[in-house]
């Protein structure tokens, strides 16, 4: 199943479909920072990182993407003191409701997240699926701001959580 999905996404990612009108920019790269500080039940949690997304339009409304994210987190307090690094690799598609690559769009994605805990010699390897809605604001012809809210499914733990994202990108 995983190989079939990845092969299909790779096929559509590398071959453009000549559907609809011509459009000027067909590729984008976007950066979404991650940074938060939270205290839960006396434990301080700090997380810092980011995600880079490469998006390729196959027609004026449909884009396929690949993304890579990395982060560092530390938790301390109440007898806990550990840190970990996390990495995410993903693929997906965006469907824009307008042909000008702005406004609302739907998001569907599939990714693998890996966490390396420094104090416990433990590696966690988890698969995620996500579905969401985003909104694109054009700042100029090439620069845009992206707001996205996803419902992310953790297939390993059989749980779901909200995954908001804000990013800035450039078209080329």
**Residue 107: per-residue pLDDT:** 97
**Residue 73: per-residue pLDDT:** 85
Of 53 and 75, which is predicted with more confidence?
Answer: 53
Of 84 and 119, which is predicted with more confidence?
Answer: 84
Q: What is the mean pLDDT of residues 78-102?
A: 88
Q: What is the mean pLDDT of residues 30-53?
A: 85
% of the chain beyond a pLDDT of 70: 82
Examine the pLDDT at 145 and tell me if it is beyond 70: yes
Of 6 and 61, which is predicted with more confidence?
Answer: 61
Confidence at 3, pLDDT banded by 50, 70, 90? low
2-171: CATH topology: Porin (2.40.160)
Structure tokens that stand for 133 in this block: 């809605």
**Residue 17: per-residue pLDDT:** 44
Instruction: Kindly tell me the burial class for residue 12, based on how many C-beta atoms sit within 10 Å of its own C-beta (0-12, 13-18, 19 or more).
Output: middle
Examine the pLDDT at 20 and tell me if it is beyond 50: no
Average pLDDT, the chain: 84
């Amino acid at each position: 199943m995983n190989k079939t999905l990845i092969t299909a996404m790779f096929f559509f990612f590398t071959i453009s479909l000549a559907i609809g009108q011509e459009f000027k920019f067909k590729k984008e790269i976007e950066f979404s920072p991650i940074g938060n500080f939270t205290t839960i039940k006396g434990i301080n949690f700090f997380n810092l990182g980011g995600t880079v997304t490469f998006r390729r339009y196959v027609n004026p409304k449909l884009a396929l993407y690949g993304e890579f994210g990395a982060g560092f987190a530390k938790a301390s307090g109440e007898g806990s003191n550990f840190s970990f690094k996390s990495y995410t690799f993903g693929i997906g598609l965006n469907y824009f409701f307008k042909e000008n690559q702005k406004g609302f769009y739907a998001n569907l994605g599939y990714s693998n997240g890996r966490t390396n805990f420094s104090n416990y010699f433990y590696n966690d390897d988890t698969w995620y699926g996500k579905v969401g809605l985003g909104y694109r604001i054009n700042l100029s012809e090439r620069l845009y701001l992206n707001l996205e809210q996803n419902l992310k499914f953790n297939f390993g733990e059989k749980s779901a959580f909200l995954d908001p994202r804000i990013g800035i990108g450039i078209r080329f």
